[in-house]
């Protein structure tokens, strides 16, 4: 009896010790990554504002592209796979260099400054993952603990840049392996995300605030309309992923040299901008998302954003695809919602979270971001839409190293990567 009590006491003490250890490490990660990410956010805001106030800054796209390629070659990091490397490092022993954080920081700012159609979350994952790995090296963690601290870094950076700590924590532990949750990382990821959010507040980082103007009582007819909208969003998310893959294959085929490829991509973006007669499809497009949530969207805006983003990423510019996916979802949702008789603002919000889920395969993170961005008034519709999009989007995704460990269609484990048709 006495022996059992001692063993129980030792187990409790060990568990408490581990909890305190990861709580402190999560806090440290949140402070370090949150500070760097806040500085990054300020630089992005300045770059975006400068481009907006100087109409022809986008003409610098080819020059900006040359600088980006030069930096990656100079620092001997041109073969790096970016976000895919970060995700792969969570379930393998692949190494992440501190150079990744510096390069993605600078190159994303350059891309946004020149008008490249990218988001900031690619940088969030790479900055957070790289700094997390560096902290793990400094503290001499073993490989398993390094993976946890990498996830904590991702959560901290995501939380800083998006202002959604709940989403950030679960996105970090969900994105690498769909169907498997790294529960050991939950405490440090939550702590890092919350601390990073506070660091962002202290450093004056302004988060994007979205409002849904329309609320809709739960009913069967409305629910069926939401199912249809979400199914179409799943198709759009697949189209986005395939277009990204195809654009990369074509540009790499026709332009073997990375300098020529990014210059060609920059020139194409300039040409497309003049042909469209608007700069709405350059940059992050946050203002267009806000317009869609107000019930205003050009019917074909989502297609043009897919094209602009695919060209930007495939050419070699740096940044993320998630904010563009929110743009695509919001504009498509607003457009289709009007056709099927759903409130436009709500349709845009449903489109955003549905496409986000379709391209990331992160069901829980998608549900949480709907709550953090739009509140709980239409929670049932977000739940219906996200579940539908998650299943119907299949095994496509933005990240080629993302592992699918459990089937979306039957109660059985699988082990496969996301679909990559155009290799």
What domains sit in the chain, N to C, each tagged with a CATH number? 2-202 (1.10.3080.10), 220-417 (1.10.3080.10)
What's the mean pLDDT in 350-377?
A: 94
Q: Which residue has the higher pLDDT, 196 or 6?
A: 196
225-262 pLDDT, tens digit each: 999 999 999 999 999 999 999 999 999 999 999 999 99
Which pLDDT value is given to residue 244?
A: 95
Q: Among residues 188, 70, 184, which one has the least CA distance to residue 128?
A: 188
Question: Which residues, other chains included, contact 76 with Cβ-Cβ below 8 Å and sequence gap of 6+?
Answer: none
Q: Is the pLDDT of residue 423 over 70?
A: no
Entry pTM: 0.94
Q: Is the pLDDT of residue 83 over 90?
A: no
Q: Is the pLDDT of residue 62 over 80?
A: yes
Classify the phi-psi angles of 277: left when phi > 0, otherwise alpha if psi is within -120 to 50, otherwise beta. Answer: left
User: Exposure of 308 by Cβ count < 10 A (0-12 exposed, 13-18 middle, 19+ buried)?
Assistant: buried
Question: C-alpha distances in angstroms, 18 versus 39, 187, 188, 229?
Answer: 31, 10, 11, 45
265-283 pLDDT, tens digit each: 999 999 999 999 999 999 9
Q: Which of 68-82, 271-285, 333-347 has the least mean pLDDT? A: 68-82
Q: Please check whether residue 368 is in contact with residue 52, taking contact to mean a CB–CB distance below 8 angstroms.
A: no
What interhelical angle do 220-254 and 379-392 show, nearest 10? 40
Band (pLDDT 50/70/90 cuts) for residue 77 is confident
249 token code pair: 């294959």
What's the mean pLDDT in 179-183?
A: 83
Q: Which residue has the tokens 């995300």?
A: 193
34-60 pLDDT, tens digit each: 999 999 999 998 999 999 898 899 999
Range among 11-15, 99-103, 278-282, 400-404 with highest mean pLDDT value: 278-282
Q: Which of 19-28, 119-128, 279-288 has the least mean pLDDT? A: 119-128
């Amino acid at each position: 009896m006495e022996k059992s009590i001692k063993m129980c006491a030792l187990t409790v003490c060990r568990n408490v010790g581990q909890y305190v250890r990861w709580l402190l490490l999560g806090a440290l990660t949140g402070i370090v990554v949150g500070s760097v990410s806040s500085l990054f956010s300020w630089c992005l805001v300045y770059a975006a504002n400068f481009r907006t106030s100087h109409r022809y800054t986008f003409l610098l796209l080819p020059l900006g592209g040359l600088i980006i390629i030069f930096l990656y070659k100079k620092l001997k990091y041109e073969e790096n796979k970016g976000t895919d490397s970060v995700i792969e490092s969570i379930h393998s022993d692949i190494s992440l260099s501190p150079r990744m954080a510096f390069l993605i920081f600078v190159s994303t700012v350059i891309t946004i400054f020149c008008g490249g159609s990218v988001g900031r979350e690619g940088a969030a994952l790479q900055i957070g993952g790289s700094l997390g790995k560096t902290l793990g090296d400094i503290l001499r963690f073993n490989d398993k603990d390094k993976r946890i601290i990498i996830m904590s870094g991702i959560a901290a950076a995501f939380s800083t840049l998006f202002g959604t700590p709940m989403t950030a924590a679960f996105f970090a532990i969900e994105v690498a392996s769909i169907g498997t949750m790294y529960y050991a990382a939950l405490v440090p990821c939550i702590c890092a995300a919350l601390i990073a959010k506070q660091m962002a507040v202290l450093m004056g980082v302004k988060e994007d605030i979205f409002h849904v103007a329309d609320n809709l009582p739960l009913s069967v007819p409305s629910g069926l309309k939401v199912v249809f909208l979400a199914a179409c969003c799943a198709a759009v998310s697949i189209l986005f992923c395939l277009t990204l893959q195809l654009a990369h294959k074509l540009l790499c085929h026709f332009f073997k040299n990375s300098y020529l490829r990014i210059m060609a991509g920059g020139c194409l973006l300039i040409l497309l901008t003049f042909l469209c007669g608007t700069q709405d499809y350059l940059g992050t497009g946050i203002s267009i998302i806000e317009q869609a949530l107000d019930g205003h969207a050009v019917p074909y805006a989502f297609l043009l954003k897919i094209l602009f983003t695919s060209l930007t990423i495939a050419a070699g510019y740096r940044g993320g695809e998630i904010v563009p996916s929110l743009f695509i979802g919001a504009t498509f949702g607003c457009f289709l919602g009007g056709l099927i008789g759903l409130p436009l603002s709500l349709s845009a919000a449903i489109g955003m979270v549905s496409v986000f889920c379709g391209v990331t395969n992160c069901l829980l993170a998608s549900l949480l971001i709907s709550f953090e961005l739009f509140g709980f008034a239409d929670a049932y519709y977000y739940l219906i839409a996200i579940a539908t999009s998650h299943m119907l989007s299949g095994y496509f995704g933005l990240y080629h190293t993302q592992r699918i460990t459990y089937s979306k269609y039957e109660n059985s484990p699988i082990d496969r990567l996301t679909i990559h048709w155009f290799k």
